Amino acid sequence: MIAHSRPTLDEDDAREVARVVRSGQLAQGPEVEAFERELAPWFGAPAAAAVSSGSAALELALRALDVGPGQEVIVPTFACDALWHAVTRCGATPVLADADAETLSLAPADAARRRTPRTRAVVVVHAFGLAADVDAFLALGVPVVEDCAQALGARAGGRPVGARGAAAVGSFYATKLLTTGEGGAVAGPAARVARARDARDYDEREDLRPRFNYKMTDMQAALGRAQLRRLDAFLARRRAIAARYRAALGGLPGLGLPPDAGARHVHHRFVVTVERPLTPVLEHLARRGVAARRPVFRPIHRALGLGGYPEAERLWARCLSLPCYPRLSDAEVDAVAAALAEAVGA
Ligand SMILES: Cc1ncc(COP(=O)(O)O)c(C=O)c1O
């Protein structure tokens, strides 16, 4: 079976984690500090705080922007549930907005339509590796949180994703562009990052502001540092895989390919649109040994029984995520493309 995702790990990663284990300093310490220093420039940010997950990073970024009860935060419905959970954990109300057909991120016009006097922030996801148009959301006049969980290393207008918003977040879960097993980060101006750093630990604090144990371990940070050294190579391989898919699949009837966006796209996922029912296509791919997925399990509004999200509905019915990760061989890419061509009857 060709897996949908696999982490890219090597002996250097194993050696670095073993070094920390042998040192006896396991919990948050100098490796986390060094990881944060090395990570911040990838977000184009002055500072970064490493935390236990992307979900924790989202919550801490929102708290650092004073998101709380009585306020609303606009989030995409065509995204993972982590966004909804992060807002509700702050005591605020998530306001779902529809998807953009081109970027698969938030639709700026729909986000603008759902803005109210209570809107405190908007979370813009750079979806599946493609940098969204952050300027369109800055125009809303509320702080923008850039969710770079799927797009670390993508660049727009000569700057890394994460550099333009009030704060940026990353995730280092096992399927992400670089992994620490589980992990995440908040990046942005030093004062805001300091607030996230304060809230990720409860120990020996005079006051009782909202805090939790959201710390990353030094073992994870050592893995992150080793991965970071190879991130450019990881992204180059992802782009080569995307180009190979593009050459093999371009022109197939009823199949839409992701935009060829150069530096703006790091291809965390290679998401195609299929103009026919997805389930038989997924089943055909599985029979041919290919694990493809819907890129979003289900839009958030569906879990809440809400209507009014026609583009997210359309994308959910049509979008298919193909295997795309550095360890995928050219022969595997060709096998996936051939299986998909069969599935769509080309
Ligand atoms: C866009 C986005 N944001 C946030 C998260 C949450 O990250 P984590 O799984 O590390 O909590 C994810 C997880 O997949 C994600 O895709």
The pLDDT tens digits for 265-304 are 999 999 999 999 999 999 999 999 999 999 999 999 999 9
Q: How far is the CA of 64 from the centre of ligand 1 (A)?
A: 18
Residue 284 structure tokens:
């055909």
Burial (Cβ within 10 Å: 0-12, 13-18, ≥19) of residue 207: exposed
Of 174, 222, 173, 217, whose CA–CA distance to 14 is shortest? Answer: 222
- The mean per-residue pLDDT over the stretch 91-117 comes to 98
Task: Give distance in angstroms: CA of 169 to centre of ligand 1.
Answer: 9
Residue nearest to atom 10 of ligand 1 (CA): 54
Instruction: State which ligand 1 atom lies nearest to the alpha carbon of 183.
Output: 10
Question: Domains of the chain: which residue ranges?
Answer: 11-229, 231-343
Q: Which pLDDT score is estimated for 111?
A: 98
Q: How many CA atoms lie within 13 A of 254 on its CB side?
A: 14
Ligand 1 atom with minimal separation from the 127 CA: 1
Whether the per-residue pLDDT at 346 is higher than 90: the answer is no
Which pLDDT value is given to residue 134?
97
CATH architecture of 11-229: 3-Layer(aba) Sandwich (3.40)
- Give ligand 1 pocket residues (Cβ under 6 A): 53-55, 58, 79-80, 82, 125, 147, 149-150, 171, 173, 184
Question: Can you tell me the distance from the alpha carbon of 215 to that of 53, in angstroms, rounded to the nearest whole number?
Answer: 9
Across the chain, mean pLDDT equals: 97
Query: Which atom of ligand 1 has the smallest separation from the CA of 182?
Result: 10
Task: Identify the residue whose C-alpha is closest to ligand 1 atom 8.
Answer: 54
Give the model confidence (pLDDT) of 201-215 as tens digits: 999 999 999 999 999
Percent of the chain at pLDDT above 90? Answer: 99
51 and 196 in contact (C-beta within 8 Å)?
Answer: yes
Rounded CA separation 94/303 (Å): 13
- Residue owning the nearest CA to atom 14 of ligand 1: 80
Burial 39-53 (b: 16+ CB within 10 A, else e): bbebbbbebbbbbbb
Q: How far is the C-alpha of 198 from the C-alpha of 212, rounded, in Å?
A: 10
- pLDDT for 13 equals 98
CA distance 148 to 98: 19
231-343 CATH choice from 3.40.630.30, 3.90.1150.10, 3.40.50.1370, 3.60.150.10: 3.90.1150.10
Which of 78, 84, 150, 171 maximizes ligand 1 atoms within 8 Å of its Cβ, making it the mutation to test the pocket? 171
Per residue in 243-260, pLDDT (tens digit) is 999 999 999 999 999 999
pLDDT at 92 > cutoff 90: yes
Is residue 49 within 8 Å of residue 196, measured between CB atoms? yes
- Please give the distance, rounded to the nearest whole angstrom, from the Cα atom of residue 289 to the centre of ligand 1: 27
What is the pLDDT confidence band of residue 345, given thresholds at 50, 70 and 90?
confident
pLDDT, one tens digit per residue, over 44-60 is 999 999 999 999 999 99
